[in-house]
Each structure stands twice: as C-alpha cells, then as structure tokens.
C-alpha cells in the first residue's frame, strides 16, 4: 500500500510528541513524590516543553534532567517557601472554620471564610507565574516573585485561564481515571505555555542585526 509523501514523517512526529508527553509527565510525577522537588521538576517540565516540544530541539528527556540539575537548589528553596506559605494559609483557614463551627455568629464566620479563600487566589496567581518566569529568565529570588506578581496582575485573564486549564485536568482525572495523570501534566503545561509565551513575547526585546558598513560588521 502506497503512503502519501510526508505521511510517515507526520505520523512519526505525532508519535514522538506523544512519547515526549508520556515520558515528561511520568518523570515529573515521580520527581514530585518527595514534595520538595516539585518546584525544580515543574521548572524543568516547562523548559523542556518550550524548547523541545514547541521548539525544534532534540533530546527532550536529556534537557529535562539538565535543567533539573541546574535548578535543583533554587527549586528546593521555592518549594520550601511555598509549602510554608500555603501551610500557614491552610492553618489560618482551619482556625477560622473551627471558630465559626463553635460560635453563634456562624454566618459571619462563613462569610469571612469565603473572603479568606478569595485572598488565597493572590498567592495562587503569583505561583502560577513563578515556574515559567524562572524557566525562561534569570532573576534573583526576590525579583522572581516580584516579576511573577506583576505578570499575575497585569495579565489577570490569562492567569485565570491558566487555572481553569488545571481545574479541567483535575476534573478529568477525578471523574474519568487517575491513569490520565501519566499523560495530562505534559499536555496541561503545553497548553499553558502557548498562553504564557504569548505574554512573554510582549516583553522580550529582540536585538536588531547590526548594519553592514563597507563590507565589515
């Protein structure tokens, strides 16, 4: 049976992409088990997706581990910081909820709990941008979070859409099958990176080539 010219290459590219998603997602899941390695694993996943899945670079898995080694110390610090932040926020919400459950003014505490949960969207929005900013640019620890906060606020619709994508993926895993966890992380980050990279392009200033004068650069 004859094949259409280029068909084999097209199919091979798609099978290769699926293999990349599976490999990256599985490695990311395994590296997230120790919890403290979630941040460096997430940074490495985003970097590999942008350069190898979107881009033309080869060696997707090799690039993932190369980035993971480079970002390990910074990533461990990020993991500790955000675990402390959300741990403190979670404890605050639990205390507030407990107070409301044992007091007559329950309606007041319920309303305050909703407001409290709303404020938690702020650190969630910042966290959304920390990983891609760290993967794509060089920042100090403080500057990284300041920049992520600016992106989260200045591009609020994109920030909300990024979390909608995560929620859809979580719903698919919950209602369909946990087996989807093997594939979805790579797909989710790929879809998110399309939106994020469009934002980044607005701030990346490409150098114009220098004019050639008298045959010399």
| pTM of the complete model | 0.82
Q: List, in sequence order, every residue forming a beta bridge with 216; answer none if it has no partner.
A: 213
Which three-class secondary structure string do you get for 36-75? Answer: CCHHHHHHHHHHHHHHHHHCCCCCHHHHHHHHHHHHHHHH
Output the pLDDT for position 101. 56
What percentage of the chain carries pLDDT values higher than 70? Answer: 79
Measure CA of the first residue to CA of the last residue in the chain; give whole Å: 55
Averages of pLDDT over runs of 10 residues in the chain (217 residues) are 51 72 91 95 95 83 95 96 90 72 59 72 92 92 94 95 94 90 90 94 60 38
**Residues 85-115: pLDDT tens digits?**
998 888 877 776 676 655 555 566 666 667 7
3-state secondary structure of 33: coil
CA–CA distance, 52 with 17 (Å, rounded to integer): 9
């Amino acid at each position: 049976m004859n094949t259409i010219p280029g068909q084999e290459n097209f199919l091979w590219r798609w099978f290769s992409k699926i293999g990349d998603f599976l490999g990256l997602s599985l490695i990311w899941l395994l590296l997230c088990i120790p919890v403290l390695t979630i941040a460096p694993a997430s940074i490495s996943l985003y970097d590999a997706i942008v350069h190898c899945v979107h881009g033309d670079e080869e060696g997707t898995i090799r690039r993932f581990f190369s980035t993971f080694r480079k970002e390990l110390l910074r990533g461990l610090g990020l993991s500790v910081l955000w675990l402390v932040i959300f741990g403190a926020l979670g404890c605050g919400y639990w205390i507030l909820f407990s107070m409301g459950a044992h007091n007559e003014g329950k309606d007041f505490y319920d309303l305050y709990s909703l407001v409290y949960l709303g404020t938690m969207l702020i650190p969630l929005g910042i966290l959304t941008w920390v990983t891609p900013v760290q993967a794509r640019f060089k920042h100090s620890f403080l500057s990284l979070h300041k920049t992520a906060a600016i992106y989260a606020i200045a591009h609020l619709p994109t920030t909300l859409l990024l979390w909608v994508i995560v929620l859809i993926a979580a719903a698919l895993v919950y209602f369909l099958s946990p087996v989807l966890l093997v594939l979805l992380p790579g797909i989710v980050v790929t879809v998110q990176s399309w939106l994020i990279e469009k934002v980044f392009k607005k701030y990346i200033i490409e150098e114009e080539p220098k004019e050639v004068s008298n045959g010399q650069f």
